[in-house]
């Protein structure tokens, strides 16, 4: 039998009969302590860095071995249009209001879930971010000549995040032969 080229058009993805296109970055929700927080424009900083620790083994001094070291979690930056709501400001001020012993104000640390949705708004990925608190609150420059949307920006310091399983979503794990 003669080999034939496979032409992929439109919505076809012949490899396994299922389509696995990358998701768009525009359909997401931000939940803070389980409640949807008003429309964030951007979420930035879902990343971490693990340092490498190098060492040599006795008797094999020609090769450096490497192991994972300490992991640091980058702060997450959330941006949204400023409205009448003071929700983010109220949360951020909790980190400033410490008692004399250095104990944090009530409700300082919260958990955040960042939910990615597909084109038909079904949840497809969820990142759970733990023990968050606002370390920086920014209102951009006010400009009498400007006409842009005023975006409040918060920098969230946290103690780590993880991708959590979403019910009904089958994750495709590639196999490398």
**Domains (ranges, CATH) in the chain?**
28-47+56-164 (2.30.110.20)
What pLDDT is attached to residue 108? 84
CB atoms within 10 A of CB 154: 21
pTM recorded for the entire structure? 0.76
- Position 8 scores a pLDDT of 42
Element housing 67 (H / E): strand 60-73
pLDDT of residue 54: 92
Segments of the chain scoring below 50 in pLDDT: 1-16
What is the Cα–Cα distance from 2 to 74, expressed in whole angstroms?
A: 54
């Amino acid at each position: 039998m003669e080999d034939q080229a496979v032409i992929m058009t439109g919505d076809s993805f012949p490899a396994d009969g299922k389509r696995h296109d990358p998701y768009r970055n525009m359909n997401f929700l931000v939940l803070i302590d389980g409640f949807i927080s008003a429309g964030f424009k951007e979420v930035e900083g879902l990343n971490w860095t693990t340092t490498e620790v190098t060492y040599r083994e006795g008797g094999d001094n020609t090769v450096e071995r490497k192991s994972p070291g300490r992991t640091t979690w980058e702060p997450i930056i959330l941006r949204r249009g400023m409205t009448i709501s003071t929700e983010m400001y109220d949360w951020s001020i909790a980190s400033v209001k410490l008692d004399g012993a250095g104990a944090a104000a009530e409700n300082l640390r919260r958990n955040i879930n960042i939910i990615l949705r597909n084109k038909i708004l079904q949840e497809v990925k969820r990142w759970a971010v733990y023990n968050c608190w606002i370390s920086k609150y920014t209102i951009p420059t006010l400009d009498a000549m400007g006409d842009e949307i005023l975006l409040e920006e918060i920098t969230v310091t946290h103690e780590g995040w993880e991708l959590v399983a979403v019910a009904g979503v089958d994750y495709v794990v590639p196999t490398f032969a």
